[in-house]
Amino acid sequence: MHKFRMEAEKLRSQGYSYNLINKKLGISLATMSYWFKDKPFIPNDEVKRRIKNGHSTGLKSHERRLTEILELKQVGIKEIGKLSKRDLLLLGLGIYIGEGSKTNERIRISNSDPAIIRLSIRWLKEVANLENDNISIRLHLYPDSNIEECMKYWQKVTGLNQRHFQNVTIDRRINKQTFHLGKLPHGTAHIYVLSGGNLEKGVRLYRRLNGWIAGVKLQV
């Protein structure tokens, strides 16, 4: 985790703006925007005073934007409703088309979003009829990652214990370090499917999956 993230979260919850947090901690506005993009913001008296003395219309516009975001989010949730098994099949397939491996006849899904990883595991279990022992996770982390913290985090996300996790990979490429610094505090999780010697849960499942993808593409 970024060494100042907890302090930044505390300041943000106390109603401080990105600019004030940036002045106090030196964290970039882009990084804070990524961290707090889904969290409601209620400005404190100091921020309100600064806005009043500067751009008072900005606060009202910001509040209207946040209100609309929350309202339309709830509308969207209601429109989705409860997922059927076919919904789950197609949703998981869409994730695989975007994030899954297309080579070596081996099923692998990679993502940094815990909801996508959790959904992918549900898809593999409920649609592909896999068990926990057919699933293995490898974490792809960065030099500023806390390995122990990341392991606990992804174990909680996936509901899998330590024996389902492979050795961690640390990306030490120089050009990657600056870009991902603080942006992916828990790295990326890579889900691998293990057949356990059962072809129906290995190469044949991969080939069926390719058939599902082909079936979708033929109708596009």
User: Which secondary structure element, helix H or strand E, spans residue 175, and what is its range?
Assistant: helix 174-180
**Per residue in 162-189, pLDDT tens?**
999 999 999 876 655 555 555 788 999 9
Asked whether the beta carbons of 135 and 124 are under 8 A apart, the reply is: yes
Asked whether the beta carbons of 166 and 137 are under 8 A apart, the reply is: yes
Domains of the chain: which residue ranges? 5-80, 85-217
**Per residue in 10-28, pLDDT tens?**
998 888 888 888 888 888 8
Highest mean pLDDT among 61-65, 144-148, 183-187: 144-148
**Per residue in 85-108, pLDDT tens?**
999 999 999 999 999 998 889 999
Tokens 């806390």, residue located: 146
Residues 6+ apart with CB under 8 A from 88: 122, 123, 126, 127
Tokens 């060494």, residue located: 3
Mean pLDDT of the chain: 86
Helix (H, G, I), strand (E, B) or coil at 192: strand
Mean pLDDT of 121-135: 96
* Residue of 93 and 63 predicted with greater confidence: 93
Level-2 CATH architecture, domain 85-217: Roll (3.10)
User: Which secondary structure element, helix H or strand E, spans residue 22, and what is its range?
Assistant: helix 18-25
